[in-house]
């Protein structure tokens, strides 16, 4: 039995869920999200919140049960509080600046890196060396943060590059004489 799947999803105040077969729509103060669940899982709403259960007892159905519950729980959390990822830039002359719907970065190349921010995502630069990516869709926030990090991943000798704020860079020792 899935320990994740059998836990009910509690709905915070101000969040409404509309169920239509396998389609789930979640609406909250931050926005609205929609997802279609796989056929191996059923979803029902009761007093405790949302409960998911597998249709049949197969390996795939049990795997989809926990995954589907996590997807719906992330949708509920996204429309109520939202998600954010913090990135740090390390290196001499490395900096970033958010301008409307684009992020401009100097990362040690001969040119500026300009990244157009997708719809539904907010990018803020509180300092020149900090980037905050936020939005209601957890998958999209993580994807945008990973894309920004991929322009200049941190290197292991001096740690220069773009890294997650909570990421630890394992440092290597340099050459010896």
CATH of domain 16-80: 3.90.930.12
Residue bearing tokens 């259960």? 53
Q: In the chain, what are the domain boundaries?
A: 16-80, 83-164
Domains 16-80 and 83-164 in one fold: yes
Q: What is the pLDDT of residue 176?
A: 84
Are 154 and 161 a contacting pair, CB within 8 Å? yes
CATH of domain 83-164: 3.90.930.12
pLDDT one-digit tens code per residue, 89-105: 999 999 999 998 999 99
pLDDT one-digit tens code per residue, 15-71: 999 999 889 999 999 999 999 999 999 999 988 889 999 999 889 998 899 999 999
Task: Give CA separation, 14 vs 31, 81, 93, 127, 139, in Å.
Answer: 11, 11, 45, 33, 23
């Amino acid at each position: 039995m899935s320990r994740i799947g059998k836990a009910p999803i509690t709905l915070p105040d101000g969040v409404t869920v509309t169920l239509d077969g396998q389609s789930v729509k979640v609406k909250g103060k931050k926005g609205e999200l929609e997802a279609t669940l796989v056929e191996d899982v059923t979803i029902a709403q009761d007093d405790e919140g949302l409960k998911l259960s597998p249709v049949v007892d197969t390996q795939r159905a049990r795997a989809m049960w926990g995954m589907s519950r996590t997807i719906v729980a992330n949708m509920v959390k996204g429309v109520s509080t939202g998600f954010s990822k913090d990135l740090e830039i390390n290196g001499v002359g490395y900096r970033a600046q958010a301008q409307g719907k684009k992020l401009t970065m100097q990362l040690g190349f001969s040119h500026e890196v300009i990244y157009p921010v997708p719809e539904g995502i907010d990018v803020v630069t509180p300092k020149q060396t900090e980037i905050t990516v936020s939005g209601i869709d957890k998958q999209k926030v993580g994807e945008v943060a990973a894309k920004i990090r991929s322009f200049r991943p941190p290197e292991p000798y001096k740690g220069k590059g773009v890294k997650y704020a909570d990421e630890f860079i394992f440092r290597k020792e340099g050459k010896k004489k």
